[in-house]
Structure 1
């Protein structure tokens, strides 16, 4: 028996109820919003009519002051029925019978009863600042009751001048000092307070009605859906479930009655009956196929075992070949360095002491000296790279003075820089301290980067070295070195490979500029050995910036990263 909480009927009922609840709730919220807007418009209209009636009454009283204050024979007698007094009297009577609160007020009232409350004070200030405001309204709480507040401004006209005009301080006919106002000045406002008790009661009644209707609709829909789902879906599904269980027990003759169902279920019954027939056919063929698949699987497994054994043997041979290659490179590089060192030494002696050499002989000797140096540098690079690949390189960290190190490298490269007439500058930030690093390997990194800049910068170009500390955005202070040049630049595609072993930019560069392609690879490995990183920023014909960072040690505290770093 299908559990009710997991049944299809329950899911449809809950889904429909959720959809209807959401739709009805949205409709309720929209209706309430419309009702609130309509009620606000009505309250605003009522308040506006009340204020306009009071304004009209004040205007009429102001226009009839002569008739009010003169007796039948023309003698003048002030009756104390000026617009302010009449407005206050009308407001008091109106408030008593209507439940509203109508008041004429201003910031400096003559009658304390007309003094503004806090809300009216704020609204008076706004009306006084902006003469384009024809009205102001809003909501407030008075004595725990929510109310609607409405105010319209009042301005002095010529009929007001006898009581409020100039000269300021002089007594008017009622005995109050005049304020010295002029026609058009802001005079105050008429304030109307409308209780919202009835409005809120109507809203609550509307909410109760709407919620009751929503609940009734949901219950009716759930009941209808339950009856339809039981008759149309659940009963055929239960029958299908029974036939499936019979089919699972091996009764291939199990079938559904296609005539007692609706179209969709009839199609399902037909498909189920076809499936049962097909399953019987497949079952009859299954035994032979299982045996065949088992044989093929056994054969494939045997082949995989054989291939795994061959791969292990091949991997062992490759590891041995790589080890022999590294040993061969190390031995050959070492053996080649001895005769090359002798060649360099003899060429240097002959150049230093050979006063009898003619110009051509000296040129040849200089070529031998320079070529031997280049070859020795390439052999050293190959030897260093083979040691790095074999994991034989270790750091010997010690305090390194960066300015002193750069000064030493500058002396070494001075002749090359002078020969190409290059501009060369070194900028070292004043906060760069002694750092903990391998002096020789850090020197190797800088020599490689500066030598590359010299090699690929045409005559008359500029090279600069910038050294600074980076401390923001990271816990570990880092030394950053930038080597900038105005050379030929590097294309974006070549920037992804120049730090790889035996890789240069392109074929044209390899033909024009000699080199083994190991300098940048060695520099990258040495930087990473210090726990740092190296990068390049360049565009063709716009020069290049090679930069690297390594963790620095400051004040005896050590920093760094990597298993071979100086930490």
Structure 2
């Protein structure tokens, strides 16, 4: 080529610099978008919280009107302190002590100061158009300053009708004409304006700081990469190129010193030295070596062809076995799981009041339902184990209420408990927060634990289902405890293995596939948690499932219970 070509280390650094620049740009755009979303969400949460406080003030004053306006002798004396006056007074106090702007507005205000501005008119129009809208908010720029404008509708309630209800035009106790409103009408809106400048400045500073850190780190990485490539690749390659030139000029005895620090360069130098040795041999007996090499290559080629054919046959057999497995699972799912699910539904319906069964018939139906659910759990364990690879790649994260979930487990396990004459006690701490988890997998884990606890409890025994928040505030623990046959100490290390069953059954029936606790451990890890067991033979067992409230891989949006 006419121009001088760049060295490999320079090319690599230039390409890396371009790629890093693109990465920093993408990270910057993504960070800016994320910060904007976080800013809007933070401001909206503040506005919602304040709106709830104002609604509480309004509701409190409205609920205590009789106590305010009636004397101790039962004589009505209007004090002028109604819900609107109290709420506006609180808003004015808040406006004076903060840079927020809080007001109550409506399209036809009694007080001119409550008249809506242009943005509030749009919010009121939206509430009138769709009464189901619970809030209206937007980041707005006014006078080169950003602020969050937030509105929530005020609807007419029973306490409002004495001053604003029918008949329209009649003078109310405050001296204003009534509007003739009805229950549920939009009476106006609570308008809140929160300055966003200090939040924006904080987010922008954080973004700039992150970009500076990224840039400095990338520059340092480029420098290290440049010197590493130059020392480990460019210089050794230059030596090899010079030696090849010497060999081309007839010095076939040329040898390189194998003192490089990388495996690849050592391999190249060994190959170069081997090449020069072979050149020496070829010059000594060229024809014989060519014949020997040709014969050897032919044998290697034949061996490679035979091995390739064998591998092809093995792959075909594996594909055929995989297809058989898939067909078997599909058939098993359709022919066993689907009819069994329908049977459970029929048995549940049969126990309803509609069929008016006798107590003995109800007991038989409940026993059949419990047995069917046990069989369905075994089938599900087999299916879930067979397709565990696919399940690990598909996690359906959603918000789960631990209290509701434990109540559901209680109802789901009652038929089996009744059949075995076992009592289930639920103890759930009301302080348990919402968690992100996979509902189906969590259900499968706890149904296996509840089924085992019920199955291995003595007749008339008690199974306890408990839930509490852990001390770190970031995990929830769900415990299943029984007072049944227990597990021997030597079996504790293997009970979570596939197809493992304890050797100390006592009088219990060792039915099951030996897959339940294996799936419990696998799914607990998939959910970001862990499972532990404490047990003593003859005294019962306790299984503890610890789950993070927000595991890795779950959606990044924060969830808050109101």
The normalised TM-score by structure 2 is 0.45
The normalised TM-score by structure 1 is 0.45
